[in-house]
């Protein structure tokens, strides 16, 4: 049974349909990537999985449970946690407060558990430990992305949704972020990743889906798609 199972999902904004019935699955432990051009429907898919965009048709199942109609904030309790597009760092909160927002609803049973998770986040992102009391709005893009991912980890997600973590970042930082994404996955967290940086994302993914104007046009293993001539041409800038 897949951890996440989307069947025939249609999502629209007003009268404009953004997703025309897509289906995809994510197995427990996998790192799955959605790639596609701007406007292909990647972010819409992520918003629908998190519940901040309603479905017009189709179903979403998580861990065997139908969550199609479940409210967004309750999905967090089930273990679906997203680091959104544009990072969504709370600009007026410190790094520490931002991280604590991660466990706002998914509470820790003990203080020691909280401390262990926090230590782990600081281990992945030592930069955040140094900047605990800095206000989010004054941080660089890369640091904000670290906050966004670290905050999501504080919720101990069963399924981590990462929406374009590399957006607007310098190549060095992108490398670092991708390395950490792989590391988080290797530790056992299932990840659904949305990326424009197809080269990096595909080479690190177990599987990937290629979205084009609201439809899945191709799916396969990450390395397999990386070698696919049509994918190369369209997304990797290689003729």
Partner 1 sequence: MTGPWAASVFALADSDINFNISALGHSFWQLTIDGLAYGAIYALVAVGYTLVYGVLRLINFAHSEVFMLGMFGQYAALMILGFSPSGNAYAEGAVMTIVFLGIAMIVGMAVSGGVAVGLERVAYRPLRKRNAPSLVFLITAIGASFVLQEFVHFILPKLTGGKLGGVNAQQPIRLVESKQQFTIFGGSVTNITLIIVISALILAFAADVFINRTKFGRGIRAVAQDPTTATLMGVSREKVIMLTFLIGGVLAGAAALLYTLRIPNGIIYSGGFILGIKAFCAAVLGGIGNLRGALLGGLLLGVLENYGQIVFGSGWRDVVSFVVLILVLMVRPTGILGETLGRARA
Residues at the contact surface with partner 1, assessed by CB under 8 A: 50-52, 71-74, 76-77, 81-82, 84, 88-93, 97, 100-102, 104-106, 135, 137, 151, 155
**CA-to-CA dists, residue 20 to 83, 186, 207, 210, angstroms:** 25, 33, 21, 14
Of the two residues 90 and 122, which places its CB atom closer to partner 1 in the complex? 90
**Least distance between partner 1 and beta carbon 54 (Å):** 12
**Least distance between partner 1 and beta carbon 97 (Å):** 6
Count CA within 13 A, CB hemisphere, residue 118. 18
Residue with tokens 């792989």: 182
Of 111, 177, 115, give the one whose Cα is nearest residue 143.
177
Of the two residues 69 and 71, which places its CB atom closer to partner 1 in the complex? 71
Residue with tokens 């955040």: 128
Of the two residues 100 and 215, which places its CB atom closer to partner 1 in the complex? 100
**Least distance between partner 1 and beta carbon 225 (Å):** 28
Of the two residues 139 and 198, which places its CB atom closer to partner 1 in the complex? 139
Whole-angstrom Cα distance, residue 31 to residue 25?
A: 11
- DSSP per-residue letters across 102-164: HTSSS--SSHHHHHHHHHHHHHH-HHHHHTTTSBGGGS-HHHHHHHHHHHHHHT--SEEEEE-
**Least distance between partner 1 and beta carbon 33 (Å):** 20
**Least distance between partner 1 and beta carbon 226 (Å):** 30
**Least distance between partner 1 and beta carbon 112 (Å):** 19
**Least distance between partner 1 and beta carbon 135 (Å):** 6
- DSSP per-residue letters across 37-96: -TTSSHHHHHHHHHTSS--SEEEEEETTEE-TT--HHHHHHHTEEEE-TT----TTSBHH
Of 99, 134, 131, give the one whose Cα is nearest residue 115.
99
Of the two residues 71 and 179, which places its CB atom closer to partner 1 in the complex? 71
Of the two residues 35 and 76, which places its CB atom closer to partner 1 in the complex? 76
Give the three-class secondary structure for 168. coil
Of the two residues 50 and 185, which places its CB atom closer to partner 1 in the complex? 50
């Amino acid at each position: 049974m897949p951890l996440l199972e989307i069947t025939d999902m249609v999502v629209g904004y007003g009268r404009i349909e953004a997703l025309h019935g897509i289906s995809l699955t994510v197995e427990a432990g996998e790192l799955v990537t959605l790639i596609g051009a701007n406007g292909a429907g990647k972010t819409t898919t992520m918003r629908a999985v998190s519940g901040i965009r309603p479905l017009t048709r189709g179903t979403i199942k998580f861990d065997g449970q139908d969550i199609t109609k479940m409210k967004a904030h309750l999905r967090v309790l089930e273990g679906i946690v997203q680091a959104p597009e544009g990072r969504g760092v709370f600009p007026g909160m410190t790094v520490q407060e931002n991280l604590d927002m991660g466990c706002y609803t998914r509470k820790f049973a003990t203080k020691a558990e909280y401390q262990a998770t926090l230590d782990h986040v600081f281990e992945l992102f030592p930069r955040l430990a140094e900047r605990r009391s800095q206000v989010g709005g004054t941080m660089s893009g890369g640091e904000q992305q670290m906050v966004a991912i670290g905050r999501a980890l504080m919720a101990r997600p069963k399924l981590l949704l990462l929406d374009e973590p590399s957006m607007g970042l310098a190549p060095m930082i992108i490398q670092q972020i991708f390395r950490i994404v792989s590391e988080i996955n290797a530790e056992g967290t299932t990840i659904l990743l949305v990326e424009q940086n197809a080269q990096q994302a595909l080479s690190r993914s177990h599987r990937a889906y290629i979205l084009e104007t609201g439809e899945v046009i191709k799916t396969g293993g990450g390395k397999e798609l990386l070698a696919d001539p049509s994918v190369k041409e369209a997304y990797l800038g290689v003729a």
